[in-house]
Homo-oligomer: A and B are copies of this chain.
Amino acid sequence: MVTKQLVKRILNTNYEDLPDRVIEHAKKSLLNWLGVTIGAIDHETIDILMDVIQENNQSTEVTVLGRNRKTDLLSAVLINGTSSHIFDFDDTHLPTIHHPSGPVAPVVFALGEKYHFSPKALIHAFIIGCETELRISNAIYPSHYQLGYHITGSTGAFGAAAAASVLLNLDEDRTAMALGIAGTQSFGLREMFGTMTKSFHPGKAAQNGLLAALLAQKGFTSSQQVIEAKRGFANVYSPERDLTQILDKWGEVWEFEKNAFKPYACGIVLHPAIDACIKLSEIAKPEDVKEIILNVHPYVLELTAKENPQTGLEGKFSIYHAAAIAFLEKDASEAQFKEDKVLAPQTIDFRKKIRPVVNENIAKDMVKATLKTYKGFSHNVTIEHATGSLENPMTQQMINRKFTKLCQEHLQIEAIQELINKMMNLENVPSLTDVLSIINNN
């Protein structure tokens, strides 16, 4: 019965029931999502998707964000959802490594544009959609993820379908059907990591979930117990499961609040070291540094031990590069992981000064760093919780700065500022057109 019970929660949680802090978090999430989506929209991944889609149909109804182009509703959702994951710089629900906005935000943006829902309705549907997918992810994590599923792809369609069902005002039966049609389309292999197909997952999950709701709206039939049935989603897609996590304390504890933003365009394990190196860069000049010793959690060298990265993507898997470039440029955004930075002589030189040391007593979001100078001085800094962790979340100023950097090649600085203001005040903006016109006029 959990599917039907979940449907009741989805449909009976009104905007007025949402705590202010959850609404604030939603606006930050949408701003963050919009930034990573616009930032990657000129990537080759999107070029190919756009080519295939435009050879298939020439509709111009819904915006491809940041590209001054429109396409059909379902394809726009696929493209925008894919773009948001290309830099691996989107949001993360820390308990499950699920990226909640990817499958849900493109659906609310696209339905909002095509059917003129109010921005307040979009925020509402976005939060319900994210909460739905995250609670289903909780129920099957970690067993499902360990088996090999990319959880954003596999449970994302539930979130997309829930958000669309709320916006389209489906009744209980049809919302349950929408979850059924969405759930049977669950997919996504972790084997795709490192290829364009990884970022395709949240886009396709968004598209699958939206299609599910559009079909259910017109009476397409499906199972109304997709989650709990013997041959339903939880049993088939996960060796272990705890379905109580789907409904427990709904409306009291918001999983969506455990959604964190990345300050740096690389894996979370590197973030404490980057924090430390940016701090240390205030103390010494590069030429005075003899070495930087980084006491790190064992995961760091398991995942990012690449000493001589040769490409931008390899740079994201190198503690040596990440720490060096953070010291040199006081940042670790997408620009710091471009190939020119990875191959620059100055970076290569400084990488040799980085000395990571595994320490079992260091937590995952922690680092203890020591900078030694040629003159014999020694400077220590400890990061207890990296920026972007639940204990030390990014500030609004950091989020705005990240958004600005992601959009600066696509939009004028005044437009970026205006977008930030509109997005952080979205519930009072009269129409989504006010947001889209800024993006499309630039």
Contacts and interface: CB of A to CB of B under 8 A. Distances in A.
A204 interface: yes
A57 B235 CA distance: 36
A44 to B, nearest CB: 8
B184 A223 contact: no
A-B residue pairs, 10 tightest by C-beta: A148-B231, A148-B236, A57-B57, A57-B59, A197-B222, A190-B231, A191-B229, A195-B221, A57-B72, A191-B232
Interface stretch (A15-23, A27-35, A212-220): A212-220
Contacts of A197: 180-181, 184, 220-223
Contact of A187 (B57, B59, B186, B231): B186
Interface stretch (A45-53, A255-263, A296-304, A426-434): A45-53
Interface in A126-159: 147-149, 153
A196 interface: yes
A437 interface: no
A36 interface: no
A204 B48 CA distance: 21
Interface string A351-377: 000000000000000000000000000
A58 interface: yes
Contacts of A186: 187
A189 interface: yes
Interface residues of A, number: 54
27 contacts: A44-B219, A48-B218, A48-B220, A49-B215, A49-B220, A52-B218, A56-B59, A56-B74, A57-B58, A57-B72, A147-B236, A181-B197, A184-B188, A184-B191, A186-B187, A189-B223, A189-B236, A191-B229, A191-B232, A192-B222, A192-B223, A195-B222, A195-B223, A196-B222, A197-B220, A197-B222, A200-B220
A184 B211 contact: no
Contact of A72 (B56, B153, B185): B56
Nearest to A153: B184
A433 B128 CA distance: 49
Contacts of A272: none
A79 B52 CA distance: 19
A195 B180 contact: yes
Nearest to A211: B52
Given A148-B231, A189-B229, A189-B233, 20 more contacts: A49-B220, A56-B72, A57-B58, A57-B72, A148-B232, A148-B236, A180-B192, A184-B191, A184-B197, A185-B187, A190-B231, A191-B230, A192-B222, A192-B223, A195-B221, A197-B220, A197-B221, A197-B222, A197-B223, A200-B220
A103 interface: no
A188 to B, nearest CB: 6
A186 B186 CA distance: 8
Contacts of A191: 180, 184, 223, 225-226, 229-233
Interface in A173-205: 180-181, 183-192, 195-197, 200-201, 204
Nearest to A201: B184
A332 interface: no
A160 interface: no
A73 interface: yes
The winner among A45, A214, A235 for most chain B CB atoms within 10 A is A214
A231 B146 CA distance: 9
A48 B216 CA distance: 9
Contacts of A149: 236
A175 to B, nearest CB: 15
Contacts of A51: 218
The winner among A45, A149, A189, A236 for most chain B CB atoms within 10 A is A189
Contacts of A147: 235-236
B148 A235 contact: yes
Given A57-B59, A232-B189, A52 B223 contact: no
A195 B178 CA distance: 13
